[in-house]
Structure 1
């Protein structure tokens, strides 16, 4: 008997090792969903190409379920769905997650037990929902007229900065984790909250991309993140390089000016030349930049003082995010248009723009009479011509 055991022992060990490897290539999701008897529970993967169904089960009266899937190479994102109710969670390679929820209070009751990463992701979700609700409230107040344009812009900026301050701590706390990746790609109204073309926000993408490239090299999600981040860096550096080149280009004034024809928020195209007969401030700006809220508040004060004397503002945005621009510009009292070419716009070179913001004061005949880089001087220039 002992000889037989010795003979078969190597094969038993090989079989156990093979079984162990197979077991190590999977993760499990088990749990209980209350108040959902007879409903179908879906396990879905949130991949780069979209959401795909992996498995499903019809819940019985005890609400118990169990799913098993191949383990991912890097922290990966999944969701449980009942009808239109969705809850996102992360899986880090091989593990068993236990999830509990009540279908009647899905979002508040959904818990991934003993999972600090998923606790942090739930915190990000809560912060995002709170910011989205505040912004929706500000938009309602703005539309109703209970807050003016500048108050709307200022409070919108405050809301976003408060959100970024809280989420930045989670990102930098563990940039190689699922929470960091999940956080940098959060959106409100279909635009990214962290703007990869903004120097300060870009640091978040850079930290996550660098960490993921170190710990999960050559995976699909890491390659996508790294390429996305490097393209944003390339675009921003191109903008900065262009600004430096323009610093040494001489500015000619009083020689007429090239026309601009761009679309307003409502899609209607407006030409700069259509404002002939008025004194016009041609203002080049970026709404997502840190200076923008104060910049537009200062312009609004001047606009209120001089509009009745024939003063108009034609403001050109170079924001890369159209949705952000529309949200910020929708109710400003002057003409706001956007150049969709953003940092690649030929207007920057045509008008010898050396920095943003920059403006040109145009007289009633359509000639440039002053270049404005120090906006403190604008009121004095307007007093001369109006």
Structure 2
């Protein structure tokens, strides 16, 4: 049975999920990406960003002129973000902090592999990083990869605290595998998270990085090896206050820390895969008797359909009217639906699970 409804196209969230949804400014200031793509005359170039489900969604496009020039302007993001310029299924990533103008130069036949970015220090740094990744041998051994990552950290991340380029590097995929894995590379995640926390405490990327590094450290500390600590402050409670199917607001804090573990579920109840998923969850819930709390956050687009799906579930189900723009999902760094979070009996945010099998293990 397919358990995961949608996957983000990157690590963490590879993405960056949710973040780009909230990163649109309400002002009139724009950023601009312009340049030349030789050999692409009269073709369309597309600007994309990641949506709630981690898919890269087109937000604008422009026609390349007969001279190869193009230009796209968009409202400046409220928080720094990575955008993607696409043509013929190939991509170049562009960091945008605010209202800068970034110039991209490439050619149609080598788009995505040979290009230049200028207009900001971050754009130039991201160009250098992407080219180093392209030059990395496909069969690089673990020692070579570790050396490569140390070098990348020194060049682009150590002194770039709070930089969206650092975030992009941590979420970079090579093929289908992350360049930096939280469990193996937890020190890098913790270091970048600390930089974001100090310099960009209100940036949505900050909570995402912090939660990822904390979760990785807990998994590592759960093993038999030596214990490590990180500088990030652990989050013991992220409250949610939303209405249930009867219209009564239910706070997560009513259940967390009451002597039982509490599971927070994020899903879409009206998704075609939900009935089978809820059957698995019901079996797990019943197997634990009255020794667990389930708090189910639904991000459905239609409240009426959600209510019909929720009314027969034996646990607390609440509806988030913000749907895919859910602030609660951002705070919890939700990158895949469904996603599960486990609070211990004494109220500590203990673990994140991506499948019911993983959730079952966390509740043992």
TM-score, normalised by the number of residues in structure 2: 0.51
SS at the partner of 1:106?
coil
Counterpart of 1:32? 36
Residue 216 of structure 2 corresponds to residue 232 of structure 1: yes
Q: 2:128 aligns with which of 99, 123, 126?
A: 123
Conservation of the 8 A alpha-carbon contact between 1:121 and 1:179: yes
Answer yes or no: is 1:208 the counterpart of 2:213.
Answer: no
Deviations 1:240-281 (A, max 9, x none): 58999xxxxxxxxxxxxxxxxxxxxxxxxxxxxxxxxxxxxx
Runs of 4+ in 1 over 3 A off after TM superposition: 240-244
Matching residue of 2:89: 84
Match of 1:288 in 2: none
Correspondences of 1:275-286 after superposition (within 5 Å): none
Give 1:129-208 correspondences, 5 Å limit. Answer: 129-135=134-140, 156-169=141-154, 170-198=156-184, 201-208=185-192
The CA deviation at 1:75 is: 2.0
SS of equivalent to 1:239: coil
Q: Is the 8 A contact 1:132 1:188 kept in 2?
A: no
Q: 1:99 to 1:187 in 2, by over 3 A?
A: closer
Q: Distance in 1 between matches of 2:131 and 2:147?
A: 13
Distance 1:46 1:77 in 2: 9
Greater helix content: 1
How far 1:195 moved relative to its partner? 2.6
Write out aligned runs for 1:104-115 (5 A): 104-115=109-120
Contact 2:172–2:178, Cα closer than 8 Å, also in 1: yes
Give matches, 1:15-54, under 5 Å.
22-23=27-28, 25-46=29-50, 49-54=54-59
Alpha-carbon distance in 1 for matches of 2:190, 2:50: 22
Tell me, what secondary structure is at the counterpart of 2:143?
helix
Q: Is the 8 A contact 1:45 1:53 kept in 2?
A: yes
- The whole-number CA distance in structure 2 between the counterparts of 1:30 and 1:83 is 18
Structure 1 pair 243–37 and aligned structure 2 pair: CA distance change class (3 A): closer
| Deviation for aligned residue 1:194 | 2.3
Q: Are the aligned partners of 2:190 and 2:213 in contact in 1 as well (CA < 8 Å)?
A: yes
Give CA-to-partner distance per residue, 1:315-339, whole Å, 9 cap, x none: xxxxxxxxxxxxxxxxxxxxxxxxx
Contact kept in structure 2, 1:36 and 1:103, CA below 8 Å? yes
Contact 2:117/2:127 (CA < 8 Å) preserved in 1? no
Structure 1 residue 190: deviation in Å? 2.3
Q: Secondary structure at the match of 2:212?
A: helix
CA shift, 1:108, in A, is: 4.4
Is the Cα contact below 8 Å between 1:73 and 1:216 reproduced in 2? Answer: no
Partner residue in 1 for 2:256: none
Provide the alpha-carbon RMSD of the alignment: 3.1
1:217 positional shift: 2.6
C-alpha spacing 1:239/1:36, structure 2 compared with 1 (3 Å): same
> For residues 54 and 189 of structure 1, do their structure 2 counterparts lie closer, same or farther at Cα, with a shift above 3 Å needed?
closer
Q: Distance in 1 between matches of 2:227 and 2:110?
A: 53
Instruction: Identify the residue that residue 66 of structure 1 maps to in structure 2.
Output: 71
Which protein, 1 or 2, shows the higher relative CO under an 8 Å CA cutoff with sep ≥ 6?
2
Give the equivalent residue in structure 2 for 1:221. 205
Q: Distance in 2 between matches of 1:217 and 1:56?
A: 33
C-alpha separation between the residues in 2 aligned to 1:96 and 1:39? 22
95-104 or 108-117: which moved more?
Answer: 108-117
Task: Report the Cα distance in structure 2 between the residues aligned to 1:47 and 1:210, rounded to whole angstroms.
Answer: 26
> Which runs of no fewer than 5 residues in structure 1 stay unpaired?
1-20, 136-155, 245-339, 346-386
The answer to whether the Cα contact below 8 Å between 2:102 and 2:123 also exists between their aligned partners in 1 is no
- How far did residue 212 of structure 1 move? 1.6
Which structure is larger by alpha-carbon Rg, 1 or 2?
A: 1
